Amino acid sequence: MNHPRRLLLSCAALLCLGSAGAQPPEAECLIPSKPGGAMDLTCKLAQKALQTDPAAPRLKLSYLPGGVGAVAWHTLVSQRRAEPDTLVTFSSGSVLNLALGKFGKADVGDVRWVAAFGADYGMVAVPADSPWRTLGDLLGALRRDPRRVLIGMSGTVGSQDWIKMALLARMAGVDPRQMRFVALEGGGEQFVAMQANHVQAVSGDTSEALLYAGPGKVRVLAVLAERRLPGLLAGVPTAREQGYDVVWPVIRGVWMGPDVPDADYRRWVAAFAGIESAPGFAQLRTQAGLYPFSLTGDALTAYIKRTADTYSRQARHFGLVRER
């Protein structure tokens, strides 16, 4: 007869302990690149944004580089499919790699897309002391001899950094296959390589450029946006202004493993939906070098599928074979 009463008292004690000294749960934000690039920035933005809600999980950052995202993707999909508190950062480049079959037989439908909470844009940069002062200068040098200009990029032929430069080169009358690229792991390595004079130009993203651009360091020749961007890059003309109609938005966000319980997935979707409308988030996003873009859950999943289809069509124009 005393068992139910003892059980009731035990539960009450546990509830009291939880309310008195409970700490927010801890979750992991997995970054599929080395520190210093835009993937790193994306995770740190999510981390700072969640800190504005005392009840939200605390995000710890961890790094799993390799294969421009392939290692992290296959690790989650094959070994950590159902972890309810593990997020992985992604960008439009991740979606492009999937569309091209660079993750093997992986497909955008293999994981659960949680939230996209910012966007940046493609850009082209050179060292501050480079003789090329405009995008036209750089493309002119490529037209004269594409083999003499080494371009640093994240990923290999067919990556978003490659396609951005390929689109520009084709408009300048240069065969993209003649260009010389150095494949690096993330935006941080690209700028380090350029500052060490291992490459003469970088095809990357504006959020990465904001970390490194400055007097005596880097000269951004063009941003691949519809119009000039506000803030530190306000003085940089768009490629379109300079006669090259290339626009390349890069969305950034997080996904989860395919077997995460629906309740946990929806919990994270709701957390990010709330954060994006919270006071102070816009400032955090700006500090991360990103611009407004907000999609979560089912709406984001539909967007990702449409984008992957678009990338597949673009890649076919360059003769890139999808490995399926």
Per-residue pLDDT of the chain (324 residues), as tens digits, is: 444 444 333 333 333 333 344 566 789 999 999 888 788 989 999 998 888 778 788 899 999 998 878 999 999 999 999 999 999 999 998 899 888 888 888 999 999 999 999 999 999 999 999 999 999 999 999 999 998 999 999 877 888 899 999 999 999 999 998 999 998 876 678 888 898 899 999 999 888 888 776 667 899 999 999 999 988 889 999 999 999 999 999 999 999 999 999 999 999 999 998 887 788 899 999 888 888 889 999 999 999 999 999 888 888 888 875 444
Q: Which residues, in sequence order, are bridge partners of residue 151?
A: 181, 201
Cβ atoms of 171 and 140 closer than 8 Å: no
Residue ranges covered by each domain of the chain: 27-118+250-317, 121-233
26's tokens: 């801890």
User: Quick one: which of 82, 11, 89 has its CA closest to 44?
Assistant: 89
> Do 27-118+250-317 and 121-233 have matching folds?
yes
Q: For the packed helices 262-276 and 297-317, what is the interaxial angle rounded to 10 degrees? A: 90
By DSSP bridging, strand 295-296 and strand 112-127 are: antiparallel
The CATH topology of domain 121-233 is: D-Maltodextrin-Binding Protein; domain 2 (3.40.190)
Q: Write down the H helix ranges in the chain.
A: 3-21, 38-51, 70-79, 92-99, 135-144, 160-171, 187-195, 206-212, 262-276, 281-287, 297-317
Cα–Cα distance, 63 to 114 (Å, whole number) = 19
CATH class of 27-118+250-317: alpha beta
Cα–Cα distance, 83 to 259 (Å, whole number) = 8
What pLDDT, on the 0 to 100 scale, is given for residue 214?
62
Q: 51 exposed, middle or buried (CB, 10 Å; 0-12, 13-18, 19+)?
A: middle
What pLDDT, on the 0 to 100 scale, is given for residue 274?
81
19's tokens: 């309310």
What pLDDT, on the 0 to 100 scale, is given for residue 71?
94
Cβ atoms of 53 and 278 closer than 8 Å: yes
| pTM as predicted | 0.75
User: Quick one: which of 35, 32, 47, 36 has its CA closest to 212?
Assistant: 36
Specify the DSSP element, H or E, that contains 240.
Answer: none
What pLDDT, on the 0 to 100 scale, is given for residue 20?
40
Cα–Cα distance, 136 to 221 (Å, whole number) = 9
In a 13 Å sphere around the CA of 234, the CA atoms on its Cβ side amount to: 3
What pLDDT, on the 0 to 100 scale, is given for residue 10?
35
281's tokens: 């988030």
